[in-house]
Amino acid sequence: MDGTDDISIPAIPPLLAPGEQSLSDQAYTRILEMLLAGQLVPGEALQERRLAQMMEISRTPVREALFRLEAEALILRGPGRKLVVNDISIESYVRLLDLRRILEMEAAARATGRITAGKLAEVEAGLEEMLQLESVSAAQHWAVDDLVHHTIAEAAGNPMLTRTILDLRRRTHIFNTNRISHRRRPGTEEHLALIRAAAGSDPELTRRLMGTHLDHVRNAIVDFILGIRH
């Protein structure tokens, strides 16, 4: 036992039909866009009923969307347990991504040579499927993304490092291919090169590929935020 048994890699969920999105996902996407655009300001209370009426849906999917946003630290519990908008700044978000970059580059170097042939084949299959599909749901994309990054983090062999990386990924998971769609194919190709390098024998190559990948992610996200706020 190496202490990592309780950190499981999520199963890849089934694809939704092109254009199909659950009401909960729709509510999540709409509220997130309002947060990023500054239409919901820091400290503002969020009311399920008002949001549901605005989106013309029931309160249940809105509640589910708010739970997700709370888990991602985009909203938080204020006085009286009311949900309020957290302060979202490009600076704080970039700092989180920078910390991810530092830790995941080190994890990538440590993981090199410790990815089994079976695990490599599993990850490659998920990525190859992504490249073949014209439309990918947000859940499918995130699951495959998780598969790559979790595999490398776990292979690094330090459970505390793994947990820290997973927490940072959760806190920075506010974007998907619906918002930075131009990153889906290049990101998937970067993931393929990355997992193959991790299964190889050159830790500095794996470190460099991880850093380059996360730089591209950061740049796309910052460009998106600046665009939506202007």
pLDDT at 216: 94
Same domain assignment for residues 118 and 187: yes
Query: Residue ranges of the chain with pLDDT lower than 70?
Result: 1-21, 37, 88, 138, 174-179, 228-230
Q: Smallest Cα–Cα separation from 24: which of 56, 48, 60?
A: 60
The answer to whether residue 16 sits within a structural domain is no
Phi then psi for residue 217, to 5 deg, are -60, -50
Structural domains counted in the chain: 2
Same domain assignment for residues 63 and 140: no
pLDDT at 117: 97
Same domain assignment for residues 111 and 36: no
- Can you tell me which residue has the tokens 């866009």? 33
Distance from the first to the final alpha carbon of the chain: 51
Same domain assignment for residues 175 and 105: yes
pLDDT at 186: 94
Same domain assignment for residues 151 and 130: yes
The answer to whether residue 13 sits within a structural domain is no
Strand partners of residue 83: 77
The answer to whether residue 3 sits within a structural domain is no
| Rounded-to-10 torsion of CA 121, 9, 95, 227 | 70
Same domain assignment for residues 121 and 49: no
Domain that holds residue 51: 23-85
Contact 150, 7 (CB under 8 A): yes
- CATH number of the domain within which 135 lies: 1.20.120.530
Q: Smallest Cα–Cα separation from 101: which of 158, 199, 169, 50?
A: 169
The structure's pTM equals: 0.71
pLDDT at 194: 98
